[in-house]
Structure 1
Amino acid sequence: MCEGECPAGKYGDRCERFCNLYCKNGCNKYDGFCNSGCTVGKFGATCLYTCGAGCISGCNQVNGSCSCKFGWQGHYCDECSPIYYGPLCDRLCSPVCLNGTCFSNNGLCKEGCNTNLYDIQRIEEMNQASKSISNSAFYVVIAVLLISVILNIYFIARNIKQTFNKSQKLKETRRHKNSTRHVNTIVNDKVEENTGYQELGDLSQPSHYEELKSM
């Protein structure tokens, strides 16, 4: 038999057994009870039990009772309220369920439906119509975006073409001016050359003095 206190985390006559990991500050040497309580989320003398999933901020560490989150119920807050279902009890039962109640695991109406088949079909049709409208709106937005992109490409291409044409016209105008200036220069040179020849011809003709002398 082990005399005195057991090492931390152990208990038993020979200190051969391990305290529950969820005990705070170890456990009682003789029975393994968690005298200092349990970590949050656990309860019981040896902290073996887990608080309910719907508990707010843990539970009573002796009996496991707690305050429940919205959608949960029960002493341990471990079951859904009658009008909620799902793993987190956060999904509302269908409005067509009688008294609004359904099975907590799958949402099927527990007490049957409070409307006829025609009304159920109308609800389904309304849901389908709503989905169809949403899809149509989505396609309209996509179409508008595509048209916008095409128009932008068209206008950009047109601007580039206009700029190119203007550049070509400007080059052609400059080329034409240079050609005209060159022709004018040639013509002027010819005129000056012909004028020089004419003056030279006039000088080469017989003078009036020679004519008088021969008379």
Structure 2
Amino acid sequence: MTGSCPSGLCERGWKNASDKRCNEECDNGTFGLHCRSKCSGHCAGGLSCNKVTGSCPEGCEDGWINSYCNETCRNNFYGENCSFPCGHCANNAKCDHVTGSCPFGLCKRGWKNTSEKRCNEECENGTFGSNCQSKCSGHCAGEIPCNKVDGFCTQGCAVGWINPYCNDTCQTNFYGKNCSCSCGHCANNATCDHVTGSCPSGLCKRGWKKNSDKRCDEECENGTFGSNCQSKCSGHCVGGLPCNKVDGLCTEGCAFGWINPYCNDTIKRASECNSNQLVRSSLYGTIAALFLSILLNIFLIVRNAKKAFYMRQRSKKGNKEQDSTIETYVTVPGRIEENTAYQELTVQLNNSWINDTEESNAGYQELGQSSQPSHYEELKQF
């Protein structure tokens, strides 16, 4: 008797040796008929599978399932008994079924890569994006953190900020919530603060006043004008109208009795000014007339002097002729007709001398009149 099994067929879990006795158990890692099947090798604790059925008696290693422990976790689970969900791997990649790590450690936006690379920790508040490397603007309404995926402020922006990220200030000349408020009237066309609306250094355009919030959005009150409304109108604009709040001018004219663009000067004062101007004009006219009078007097003096000189020359010539005539008549005395001619000549010479003397005296009289008080003396007395 040899003890061999008929046809050398052994039960499952036993192997057929050379003597076909089927008295040797399958080696570890094998199982089944003639020990021809291999265990999965993923039985928990490194145990060998059942040599008859191939099942793992203590369950599976992490990441493996079913009784043979020969199938990986399904549906984005990993770990012991595949009971843990995968993290947020980039591009919806499947995590490692054993460790749960994401391929290349790449996470979806809004999740960060930890030491296990499982991408199962959300970005901290104030950060967002791929591996949480981007920072939020910090200007979301109500100090709510931005969306950790895209950085958007889902509840809107804080006062003075705009766009989905709330990282841009209001456009020029706007401020406040949703940048819906218009700036006031800042000096030098400066833009106001995008949050409070206040003007730089609190300086306003002329015609506007600075209030407690320095927004320069209140117009000067009636009766005031200029920088920060510190100047007062004259109060004499026509019809009781207020002056222009920028420059203080009375744009519709002045009330009766007042003049100039500001209506702060009276007509009487203007008349005095005009009177002074008239006096000055009269003074200039008098000086001009005096100058002309002096020129005229000089002309007359020169003319009379020439005339007197001319008359003296004629007188001298007449005297010479008289002497000659007298000598002639002295030489032939006793003739009545010559004596009569001598007498006529004497009368003519005497008359000529008298006329010359009168004309000479007239010239001196004119010269004497020119030395009388002139317009210049009258002007000095004025």
Task: Decide which structure has greater helix share.
Answer: 1
What's the TM-score, normalizing by structure 1?
0.42
Task: Decide which structure has greater strand share.
Answer: 2
